[in-house]
Amino acid sequence: MSHLEIIGRQSSHYTRQVRLLAHELGIEYTLQPIHDLMSEDPAVFAGNPALKLPALRQGDTVIWGSLNACRWLARQADDGVARVFWPEQAASALAMNAHEVLAHAMAVQVEVVFHEIVSKRPPDPASRKRRTSLIQSLAWLDRHWDGIRAELPPTKIAIFDLGLFSLLEHLPFRNPIDLSSMPRLTAFAAAFAARPSAQATPYRFDAPPPEAATQR
């Protein structure tokens, strides 16, 4: 297996989802930080014209997006694809909806952080709706937790779990939300945090490149 490089940020929940799977599968990689999220140069994002992270590079092959990167990673490990429970394997309406709600919550978290925290823009009707949809999505997952867990094979690595944990830990890091009314989600996050993969991928801001640090 040729060298694997994840292009992303240690502060990104999408990047962390990919890194978690790499650790769960025992795959070595290096992380290439993206420092300028506001860049309009696709080269900064490993050639992705959508200007989004993360990406995965192996030799001359580049894969864009967290789920695609996870799929590529799984192919590199012995029985890796079979060891993972993928979103499309969700069979019931509840499990399908849970994956949809989680995907929305992860995406809207980015929008909320950019609007309220990075850009420091005042609330408007659209931003209020985004925050409401994020909180309601989390509350829905908490209410339906027992049914969702029953759908996820305990012997497999669930992409759902990797994404949900990444999101739940990203909230206190970038967008503090009171989750005290969601005990099932908080218990899940606390239990998953003890896993070696979680311990190896804590959220932090990437150090600026040397030239930027010199200019300060």
Domains in the chain with CATH codes: 4-79+200-215 (3.40.30.10), 84-196 (1.20.1050.10)
Least confident of 48-57, 78-87, 160-169, 204-213: 204-213
Look at residue 153 in the predicted model and tell me its pLDDT: 97
56-71 in b/e form (b: 16+ CB < 10 A) is bbbeeebbbbbbebbb
Which band of pLDDT confidence, cut at 50, 70 and 90, is reported for residue 157?
very high
The count of C-alpha atoms lying within 13 angstroms of the C-alpha of 101, restricted to the half-sphere facing its C-beta, is 21
Distance of CA 155 to the CA centre of its chain: 21
The mean pLDDT value for 13-19 works out to 98
At residue 16, the 3 state secondary structure works out as helix
